[in-house]
Structure 1
């Protein structure tokens, strides 16, 4: 997260009073969740009972895409639009909650799903904490 914070600190204009610590935490959580969800989907594809994991794979990939988009949007501060930021944070929190729930159903059988559910819950929490600061 050092580079994320460093980039926010070097921004040439005022960031508009946003909590930069929570912003940095959320950006990091989004990109970590993106990687974890992609890896979990790939691990699901390697399981013997892959057909039983179709919904999990789909949810992983949807969550990964939404987290990546959220991390990218949060990283761009020029021309900031609070409505877009709030909407994408809400979508990301919802996607992470769904993915965590789905992976949680497989966590006892598949360790990768347990790890993914944890990353999704962390990202959901980070999104909700940042949202709370936006009012």
Structure 2
């Protein structure tokens, strides 16, 4: 695996885990309907992080484009999660922002 991807891979893995945890925790919240946009964002973000991980691991010729998209979706998820005071949402927002930052470096 290409060493240049290491920081981004780690950020994507942590983001994927944080999004999956947030998704699951949101489903247990008292007002699940209020969490619908957060849940949707978590799912989409986890999916694109998984795609970015695969692209980097396979040294895809489209890694720049995929990481660029991942950065956009992570930023969107971070914005949504940041709206909620739950610890899992705040932790997810932080992981998403870090992932977006690392993915932007890969997208240039």
Structures share fold, TM-score greater than 0.5: yes
User: 1 or 2, which has the higher helix percentage?
Assistant: 2
CA contact (8 A) 2:71 2:101 kept: yes
Note the 1:42-81 alignment, pairs <5 A.
42-77=24-59, 80-81=60-61
RMSD: 1.2
Gaps (5+ residues) in structure 2?
A: none
Tell me the TM-score normalized by structure 2.
Answer: 0.94
Tell me the TM-score normalized by structure 1.
Answer: 0.76
Which 4+ residue blocks in structure 1 deviate beyond 3 angstroms?
none
Larger radius of gyration: 1
| 1:56-108 deviations in Å (ceiling 9; x for gaps) | 0000000000001101110113xx41xx11210111001100000000111xx
Give aligned pairs, total: 108
Q: Secondary structure at the match of 1:27?
A: helix
